[in-house]
Chain A
């Protein structure tokens, strides 16, 4: 027992449940309690998760092949669905690149810059995460729609889609980078600067390599969110086929018109594309992650 007491690192705690307990005669209540903790609670949790998440996702996959492989492929290659999937993937990538740059800049200002009123920015950054998407969509429409005070009518255009996606994904990009930047050791930067590196070189050789994995983590969350976004896009996108109809809108329209099998096929395609891109991002992040060097 005492040999395991020092184990507190996350990796080593994973399997070390209290193994050796003093043997004692257990009352029936205690025995039931122990059984509940051992099997009933985890079992119930797994059933809950299966009924809620796993079985429904399996149902989407199964229904997608309701018309066989050719039915699935036909639904995905339907010109309107194909255009929607392409638009979704391209838009998500554009917005993620833009927000990874903007999010890193915002995180930088939040951590390194100092000016009065900075706390306002810190709290504003989380608003898009907590604000209901429908509210986000309506307000973006009132600003960048037909009655735009800036005379910038983006409703029914791809720009409108990108604005909405940028709004809802911004917190992920900022909040993934911020804590890593805050913990970044500035000694290396100062050493590089004292050795004559200019600030661009310090940024490129010292700061960005350390931030890259966090930036990619933020990009992954933002990408996952952007691929599936619906609420903020319903009103501002105008839902125009071949132009602003993203995949989630296409799935909704297919479902509403009773084409459930096609809706399931496009859903599965969307999910698979998301997961494939996320796997690529994850692989890049693993390559970029530097081994921890302790001085």
Chain B
């Protein structure tokens, strides 16, 4: 298979779901069955992606295939040279692995939804939305430049908005979709600014060109600080999309969407896009930026794990678990465990999709009951669901023989190594603490849902195992959560094909003074050598491998044991315990009051601000305009009075004076002839006297 064929096939994979979307949305009203094309296309895309993954990972394992064309002419940037924005795809090992992962889960969710969404009045449109989502997600995976990634980034935001708000008749769903989009936008603005910084400095959006220039020593404003800032700004995009603190609040609310959507978008693929972004920009992150990322990741995973402990909605628990696991991945990037972050992204996608689809199966069986306090004993009624859910829970807890054990172990080893090299011990501490919490809350969920006696007999009686179309995806995902897909050795993935051949940590391109000292090269790369493994950090991870494994096993075991102690064997009365530590319990149950803070402070403040501005606009700005108008009218009224009373008044005054004289003189005008004669006579006499 030639390179150009791989490119062509990737493009076909990319546009298949878009075609499905277009056909379904345009013809859906006339031909409701049109959604079969969407199903057909996604299956085709899945098969094609497996095919190209096979060839890429086999034949071209060390090669990055890039194909691009000029999309937009931006005009002159400098010296009369036209600048172009490129559209292009970049196919490396990560891309094809992501392609396979996204397409498999998307396809399984499509088929699962056929049953799950059955009877919904917007059934056809639902598949259309899944189509546009898959298209956008594949776009993020395939792109070779940061602007295009931003474009698809926003498009997944749109599809997520549409799918969370799918049941928009529910005000909570409408609220949640709006919240998701807006919270993401906040992160996106940061990312956009980061992109602007990159373009300003490098004049290109393409990853390769940017990294090449950084390795040549070109950095924003010639300062390591601004390179760090750029990295953190780009990371803000990931904070939004991957639901990291402080922008994690949208993800639990996003559970208002249909459950298969939660599995696909809000567990497996879209939320992992943030981590994927970090993986793509990993080589340009400075030590400071990485530390920020590690701290945010560690804090998020801890925060979400503590909240997950006390939630009673089955999907909410899984949502917080997702946030916590995403925090893990982000933390892994921050500590430099690049390959393990990616590894965990993939394994998490499978087991968390399995968990969500399993929860969907439970909800389906329980007639849309989501509260685990009303469940229990479902093991007997839903054997397949229970079994797959259990496997996935073991995977997330990190029990050997599962893929989750491998990725989590490697990831924790990375934090341990980081701690030993830098002295930031809080990060591994958080990592292992979260491992304990994760095992505990997952098994709390399993036990409360499936074990024990049914707490709602009525619903329990009517519960039944889901149809085949829903069970098969569960089984497939459970199987994909096992270790043998990634490595032959169930205790360590280092030597497996996934980590040794497919995913290799690239060398950072940042200037030396901005790197961790342990990331220095030990020797210059030889000609033809693609990747350099030999640095202190890799060594340290290697050393940390066994301690981390043992420690994480202890933590997982302890967590599971406690969960059984609390909920299966009931040795501890949980209600009493909760009452004993009431403030802590409430703090966790109310999600650290972060939503309250946002709604009560930030949203309120914004609304007040908008009202102030609107008031300012109508009363002050427009007030001035109207005031000027009024003033002009006053002046004109004044003018009127001036005209009436002064100008015209003068004229009338003259007339008045004449009139007055007239009135006086009229007295002499008697009309009597004799009076006149008297006047004549007297006048003559006076004249004579005077003369």
Same complex for A and B? Answer: no
Taking Cβ atoms with an 8 Å cutoff, the residues of B that contact A are: none
Q: Which residues of A contact B (CB under 8 A)?
A: none
